């Protein structure tokens, strides 16, 4: 059932969860088992969970003796090739006690744009879910170029949610909610609810941030949340540390109310009834 509010996330059948590099790589790698425990709990009650996980490049950096995110494309690709393997291994090890198997799905922007590729990707993910496999999805950084990238995995997560007709999207961040302006600035207030027709231009989310391990920021999450909610998929933005509460329908984070439309697996938009 489509999640109309935060509380109904607990009853959603299919949920896409996105986590960023800074939440699960480097010194934050300890959070992977915590994240997995929450995903496993949802999986155990019959939810079809898809995880969109950043972190390939950041995870691979120490193994290439890199102190910061490389600027050149070839080294980014090399770091991703090493890091993606290690990242999925860490997830699988954390999933093992719950007897859940992970399935790796790597996508490029062209996979979403080409109808045949999009259909193939959807069919593969649907089969994984049917087999009770937990898909772990990431951009294929090893082959992606600057010209054909999604831009950030928040957008990828929104597109995946639309692709599979998810009932809800959960975007995990470093802060508990989106704010009207950067949280450290005077007058910053947490945003509780964003209606489908709210004007987001009144909020000073700030520009896209590129940090030492990844890309993203409040603006990209707001943009991705709007992309999903405009397609009829309710979206929650909250902290990675609150993933268990988020999947249980707790009153936390910033909730983007889904519009009264629904994007089917074929990409067509239909009006919701009832």
| 119 labelled ligand-binding | no
| 4 labelled ligand-binding | no
- Write the DSSP assignment of 208-274 as a string of letters: -EE-SS-EE-HHHHHHHHHHHHTTT-EEEEEEGGGHHHHHTT-S-SEEEPPPSEEE-TTS-EEE---
| 141 labelled ligand-binding | yes
Is the four-CA dihedral 102, 108, 111, 113 of positive or negative sign?
positive
Name the token pair of 63.
């193994």
Relative orientation angle of helices 153-164 and 115-130, to the nearest 10 degrees:
80
Neighbours of 30 (CB within 10 A): 8
Measure CA of the first residue to CA of the last residue in the chain; give whole Å. Answer: 12
Can you tell me the distance from the alpha carbon of 2 to that of 262, in angstroms, rounded to the nearest whole number?
9
| 192 labelled ligand-binding | no
| 18 labelled ligand-binding | yes
| 153 labelled ligand-binding | yes
Residue positions in the annotated binding site for ATP? 18, 173-174
Q: Which residues make up each annotated binding site for substrate?
A: 54, 141, 153
The annotation places the binding site at 18, 54, 141, 153, 173-174
């Amino acid at each position: 059932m489509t999640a109309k509010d935060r509380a109904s996330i607990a009853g959603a059948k299919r949920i896409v969860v996105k986590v960023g590099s800074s939440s699960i790589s480097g010194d934050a790698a300890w959070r992977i088992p915590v994240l997995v425990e929450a995903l496993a709990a949802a999986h155990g009650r019959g939810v079809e969970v898809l995880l969109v996980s950043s972190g390939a490049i950041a995870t691979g950096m120490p193994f290439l003796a890199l102190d910061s995110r490389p600027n050149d494309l070839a080294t980014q690709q090399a770091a991703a090739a090493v890091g993606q393997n290690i990242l999925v291994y860490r997830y699988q090890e954390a999933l093992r006690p719950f007897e859940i198997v992970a399935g790796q799905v790597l996508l490029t922007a062209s996979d979403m744009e080409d109808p045949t590729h999009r259909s193939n990707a959807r069919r593969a993910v649907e089969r994984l879910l049917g087999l009770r496999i937990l898909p772990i999805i990431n951009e294929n950084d090893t082959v992606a170029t600057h010209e054909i990238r999604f831009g950030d995995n928040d957008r990828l997560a929104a597109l995946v949610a639309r692709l599979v007709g998810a009932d809800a999207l959960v975007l995990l961040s470093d802060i508990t909610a989106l704010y009207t302006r950067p949280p450290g600035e005077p007058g910053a207030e947490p945003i509780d609810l964003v209606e489908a027709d709210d004007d987001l231009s009144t909020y000073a989310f700030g520009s896209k941030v590129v940090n030492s391990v990844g890309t993203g920021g409040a603006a990209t999450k707001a943009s991705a949340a709007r992309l999903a909610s405009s397609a009829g998929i309710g979206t929650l933005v909250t902290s990675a540390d609150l993933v268990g509460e988020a999947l249980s329908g707790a009153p936390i984070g910033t909730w983007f109310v889904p519009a009264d439309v629904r994007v089917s697996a074929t990409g067509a938009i239909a009006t919701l009834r009832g």
